[in-house]
Structure 1
Amino acid sequence: MVKLRLRENESIGDAVKRFRKLVEHAGIKKEMRRREYYEKPSETARRSRRRAERRARIQRMVAGS
């Protein structure tokens, strides 16, 4: 949960910028985009598997150099 307290003599614009940074850092935007549409469990597993394969391929390339 993101909490923001307005600092003394802080403009609304600066507070909004700080809030956006906090939301981005907390991963809330990414989570919202991920939950925007329903994703079948098979699609979730497929995406996870592909990400793992890509990581393994990169590791093999780095280790082979």
Structure 2
Amino acid sequence: MLKVKVRTGESVQQMIRRFKKLCEKEGLIRDMKRNAYYEKPSERERRRMRKAQRAARR
């Protein structure tokens, strides 16, 4: 669970910006997008294999 404490003299917009950066760094947004719909295990494996092939080409 992420927590953001208000720093002295910090506006709400700055605090929200820091919170969004923390969420991005922790990978929460990516996980939320990935879990937004069901992905069959075969599709998940196919996606992993394509990613591995791309990495191997580099």
Question: Is the pair's TM-score, using the shorter chain for normalization, greater than 0.5?
Answer: yes
Q: Which residue of 1 aligns with 2:54?
A: 54
Q: How far apart, in 1, do the equivalents of 2:3 and 2:21 lie? A: 12
Letter in 2 for 1:20: K
State the shift of 1:4 in Å: 0.5
Structure 2: gaps spanning 5 or more residues: none
Would you identify which runs of 4 or more consecutive aligned residues in structure 1 move more than 2 Å?
A: none
State the shift of 1:2 in Å: 1.3
Number of corresponding residues: 58
RMSD between superposed Cα atoms in Å: 0.8
Q: Is residue 10 of structure 2 the alignment partner of residue 10 of structure 1?
A: yes
Q: How far apart, in 2, do the equivalents of 1:44 and 1:34 lie? A: 10
Q: How far apart, in 1, do the equivalents of 2:13 and 2:50 lie? A: 41
Structure 1: gaps spanning 5 or more residues: 59-65
Conserved? CA contact 1:23–1:29, under 8 Å: yes
Query: Larger Rg: 1 or 2?
Result: 1
